[in-house]
Amino acid sequence: MEYKYLLCEEKGALAVVTVNRPDKLNAINRDMFFELRDMFRDIAANDAVRVVILTGSGQKAFVAGADIAELARLTPTQARDLSRLGQDVMEGIARCPKPVIAAVNGWALGGGLELAMCCHFRIASSTARMGVPEVSLGLIPGYAGTQRLPRLVGLGQAMQMILTGEPVKADEALRIGLVNQIVEPDDLLPTCEKIAGQIASRGPVAVRFAAEAVSRGLDGTLEEGSWLEQTLFGLLWTTEDMKEGCGAFLEKRKPDFHGR
């Protein structure tokens, strides 16, 4: 598969996906959504990949938002269709069976922050700035930003960011829980790779079920989420990985997981 706007580098169990449109600060357009959809479908089906890092090319931006030149040309119906497409693609990333870590290497604005937010968690460079500036364009976030931001940082912080459109610096993003860690720019990918390595060394089926229990659980009630947890918990007893993991502990050796 040829991609115009995405790069993918596989390093063992890790896939590093880079949004690569540096002359426009990696702004997302419609074609890029189709590419992201295909890329994450391929990754989901690729047994060799256990963890994904998503980042932006260049020093300045993760993704500086939806492509405003493209937005400006849309009819209302086309805008709604683009919003639905973007939401679907981002939901697909959120449901990716392999954990996706956003390495936020600079500006993450509008659709760029929405893209970072659909990842399983975020690590930021000290140079990163994050925000949802849509109201300054007379718009609102259209790729589920109004829904994911309050779930991540709480109602008050999300309201302030969405209503003012003002971006936050990395330290503020850390304080409100939008990112998990801030590192120097040169340390961003190595740090994400280290965390990805930890995840990749765990039982792959367990990692997948854990992410599903957490994210699907948050969509429903505590009772529904707990029911899902017990169902997935029991299902793990059917896997070789569970027998290997517990057996390895009891035999005082490292587990050798195969994702089965």
Binding mask 125-154 for ligand COA (x = CB under 6 A): --------xx--x-----------------
Regarding 68 and contact with ligand COA (CB under 6 A), the answer is yes
Rounded to a whole number of angstroms, the minimum distance from the CB of residue 69 to ligand COA is 5
- Within 13-32, which residues bind ligand COA (CB under 6 A)? 24-25, 27
DSSP letter at 144 equals: S
Asked if 71 and 24 count as a contact pair (C-beta separation under 8 A), the reply is no
Cβ closest to ligand COA, residue 146 vs residue 180: 146
What is the distance, to the nearest Å, from the Cα of residue 97 to the centroid of all Cα atoms in its chain? 12
Work out which of 43, 66, 90, 170 binds ligand COA, going by CB under 6 A: 66
Rounded to a whole number of angstroms, the minimum distance from the CB of residue 248 to ligand COA is 48
Cβ closest to ligand COA, residue 109 vs residue 153: 109
Asked if 105 and 62 count as a contact pair (C-beta separation under 8 A), the reply is yes
Q: Note if 223 is an active site residue.
A: no
Taking alpha carbons only, the member of 233, 229, 235 closest to residue 217 is: 229
For residue 70, report the phi and psi dihedrals to the nearest 5 degrees.
-70, -45
- Give the neighbor-by-neighbor strand order of the sheet with 129-131: 61-63, 107-109, 129-131, 168-169
Regarding 246 and contact with ligand COA (CB under 6 A), the answer is no
Regarding 114 and contact with ligand COA (CB under 6 A), the answer is no
> How many residues interact with ligand COA (rule CB under 6 A)?
16
Nearest residue by C-beta to ligand COA? 65
Piece in contact with ligand COA (CB under 6 A), picked from 89-97, 102-110, 114-122, 188-196: 102-110
Work out which of 56, 65, 99, 203 binds ligand COA, going by CB under 6 A: 65
Taking alpha carbons only, the member of 153, 141, 27, 36 closest to residue 96 is: 36
Q: Which of 2, 134, 193, 244 is catalytic?
A: 134
* CA angle, 144 then 177 then 200, to 5°: 85
Q: Note if 172 is an active site residue.
A: no
Instruction: Tell me which residue has tokens 């040309």.
Output: 73
Rounded CA gap, 128 and 109, in Å? 10
Taking alpha carbons only, the member of 123, 27, 100 closest to residue 66 is: 27
Rounded CA gap, 104 and 26, in Å? 12
- Within 161-190, which residues bind ligand COA (CB under 6 A)? none
Asked if 254 and 200 count as a contact pair (C-beta separation under 8 A), the reply is no
Contact partners, residue 77, CB within 8 Å, separation at least 6: none
Regarding 99 and contact with ligand COA (CB under 6 A), the answer is no
Work out which of 109, 182, 199, 207 binds ligand COA, going by CB under 6 A: 109
Q: Which of 2, 9, 35, 114 is catalytic?
A: 114
Which chain residues interact with ligand COA by CB under 6 A? 24-25, 27, 64-69, 107, 109-111, 133-134, 137
Residues designated as active site: 114, 134
